[in-house]
A and B are shown apart, each in its own frame.
Chain A
Amino acid sequence: MSALPEKMGNANKKKYILEGLSSKLFQFCALISVISLLLIVGFVFYKGSLPFVVDGYSFIDFLTGVDWVPSEEKFGILPMIVASVYATIGALIIGVPVGLFTAIFLAEIAPKRVAKFISPAVQLLAGIPSVLYGVFGLAIIVPFLQNVLNLPRGQSLLAVILVLAIMMLPTIVTVAETAIRAVPKTYREGSLALGASQIETIFKVVVPAAKSGVMAAIVLGVGRAIGETMAVILVAGNSLIIPTSLTDSLRPLTTNIALEMGYAFGSHQNMLFATGIVLFSFILILNFVLAKISAKGEK
C-alpha cells in the first residue's frame, strides 16, 4: 500500500500529458476540416457573386433566363435547373422503391444463404467509380433506348434517370438493409404472435421501427444522384433546352460546370461558380426538407 500510490502518481502524470496532447491533435484535425470547408464555400460564393455584385448582371435573369450563350454574354440557367430537378425526382421515383424493396427482401425474406451472397455484392457496387456507371449507361442503356423507343439519339432524360437510379441503389440498399436488420427480433416475434403475417409485420412494425435509418438511406441516395457529374455527362446529351419529355436531351447543373470550366474565363467562369452556388443551395434545401420529413416521422 505504501509504494503503490507513488508509482500510480507517475503513471497518472503521463496520462494527463498524453490526454492533453491527443485532445490538441483532435482539435487541430477538426480545425483543418472546418477551415478547408469554409475556404471552398467562401471561394465559390465569392467568385459566383462577382458577376452580380460587380458586373451588374441580374440574378433573377440568371435564374429565369432560358438562353446560355457565353459568347454573347447570355447566362440563363433555367433549363439546367429544370433538368437537375427532373433527373433527381425521376431517379428518386425509381430508385427509392426498388432500393427499399431490395433491402427488405435481403433483410427479411431472402434465405440466409442468398442474402449472404448478395449483400456484400451490393456493397461492392457502391464503391464502383461513377464514370463506370456512365460508361455502362452509354454502352447499354443509351443504345437500348435508341432502338426500343426509336429515337434519333438515346442520350435523354430517361437515360439519365435510369443511370442515376441504378447508381443510388447500392447506397440505399446497403444503408436501409443495415437499418432493417438492426430492428430487434422481439418486435417481429411480438407482431407474429399477435396473428400478423410476415408481410404485415414487415410493413407495420419492422420498417416503421427502422424509419430513421431508412430516411438516412434515401438522403444519401439522393445526395449521390444530385451531385453526380461524370456518369451524367455521358448519357445526358447536354443540349441546352428545357426538357419537356423523357426522351429529350438535357444538361443538368453539374455537367454544365464540368463541361465548360476547362476553357471559361472572366464573367463566363464566374457564372459557372454561380451555377455552383445554385447547385449547393439545391442540395441544402433538399437535405433540409428530407430531414424535416424524417423528424416529423419520428414523432
Chain B
Amino acid sequence: MNSIETKLNKARTGKITPIKQDSEEKAIISVRDLNLFYGEKQALFSVSMDIQEKEVTALIGPSGCGKSTFLRTLNRMNDLIDSVQINGDIVIDNENIYQTNDVIKLRTKVGMVFQKANLFPMSIYDNVAYGPRMQGLKNKKELDKIVEESLRGAAIWDEVKDRLKTSALGLSGGQQQRICIARAIAMKPEIILMDEPTSALDPISTLKVEELIEKMKKDFTIVIVTHNMQQAARISDKTAFFLNGEVIEYEQTDKIFSMPNDQRTEDYITGRFG
C-alpha cells in the first residue's frame, strides 16, 4: 500500500462525482475506478458502482470473476493478504476508506457474513457479544439486551434462548449461519456484506436466511454475493453482473433479469455459460 497510486489517491479529495444523478436515492457506498491486483495478477478492472442505502445489492457472475474480491474491498478484508495492491476510490459515508487508518471503525460500520458459518468455539452468547465487547462494552445488562435484540433480529431467538450459554458449535449449519448474522447485527453496522451466505445450507435454512435478509433490509444496507440466480432475483433490488473482474452490467434486478442490456449478461442468467 505504498505505491505511487496510493500517493496519487491521497492527493485527490474524498469527494466523488456521482455516475448519474437520476434519483434522490442516497448512495452509501461509491466505488470509482477500482483496480485490484494479487501480486502481478489483476483481479478487478476499473470497477465503478454506487450502492444505495437500505437496499439489497446482489453480485452475480461465474466463479473466479472477482465477486468475493470486490466484496472484501468494502471492509478492507483484503488487507490481510500481503500481495494485494489497490487503486481507485471507495467512499463510504463520505469517507474514503482507503485513506483512513482506522480500519477497526470501518469494520464496525461494515459487517460481514461469510460463506461458511465461522462461529468461534465459545458459547452462543459470547459469540454474539464478541463484537460489542471488543468495542469496550462491559455492562452485563446492556450486553444481554444487545444479544437478545440481535438474536431476535436474526430470527433465531426462540430457537436458542434456552441454551445461550452452550457452545455455538452444537447448532445446525443453518442455525449457525443465522447466529453469524446475529453476530454481525450486534455491531449495529450500517452495511452488511454477505459472501454466498446460503451456499452451504439446505433449502429450508436457505429460505429462512432469505426471509431474514428481506426483513433486515429496512435497517441495513446489504451487499450479497450469490451463485443462485433465483435468490438474486427474489431478494435483491439491484444486481451487478461481474465477468473476469469487470462489472458488465449494474441495474435494477427486475430489469436485469427481464431485459438485460448486454448479451453476456443474458447468456449468463439464462445459463448459457458460467
Contact = CB atoms under 8 A, between A and B. Distances in A.
Interface string A170-210: 00000000000000101111111111110010001100110
A112 B81 CA distance: 12
Interface in B118-177: 118-122, 130-131, 134-135
B114 A189 contact: yes
B112 interface: yes
A22 to B, nearest CB: 38
Contacts of A187: 118, 120
Contacts of A188: 80
Contacts of B82: 112
Contacts of B75: 193
A194 to B, nearest CB: 4
Contact of A192 (B107, B121, B135, B187): B107
A194 B80 contact: no
Nearest to B121: A209
A203 to B, nearest CB: 11
Interface size class of A (residues with CB under 8 A): 10 to 19
Contacts of A191: 120, 130
A185 B274 CA distance: 28
A190 B118 contact: yes
A194 B130 contact: yes
Given A189-B77, A208-B121, A209-B121, A194 B187 contact: yes
A191 B107 CA distance: 10
Contacts of A193: 75, 77, 107, 111-112, 114, 184
Contacts of A195: 104-105, 107-108, 131, 134-135, 187
B164 to A, nearest CB: 16
Q: DSSP majority for the A interface? A: helix
A194 B118 contact: no
A189 B80 contact: yes
Nearest to B183: A194
B217 interface: no
B208 interface: no
Residue of A188, A189, A194, A196 with most partner-chain B CB within 10 A: A194
B209 to A, nearest CB: 17
Nearest to B112: A193
B264 interface: no
A188 B79 CA distance: 13
Contacts of B105: 195
Given A192-B107, A193-B112, A197-B104, A184 B118 contact: yes
B131 A194 contact: yes
Contact of B130 (A189, A197, A204, A209): A204
B167 to A, nearest CB: 9
Contacts of B77: 189, 192-193
B116 interface: yes
Contact of A196 (B111, B114, B134): B134
B107 A190 contact: no
Contacts of A208: 120-122
A204 B112 CA distance: 19
29 contacts: A186-B114, A188-B80, A189-B114, A190-B114, A190-B119, A190-B120, A190-B180, A190-B183, A191-B130, A192-B77, A193-B75, A193-B77, A193-B107, A193-B111, A193-B112, A193-B184, A194-B134, A194-B183, A194-B187, A195-B105, A195-B108, A196-B104, A196-B130, A197-B104, A197-B134, A204-B130, A204-B134, A208-B121, A209-B120
* Among all A-B residue pairs, the 10 with the closest Cβ atoms: A186-B118, A194-B131, A195-B108, A193-B112, A190-B118, A196-B134, A195-B107, A195-B104, A205-B120, A209-B121
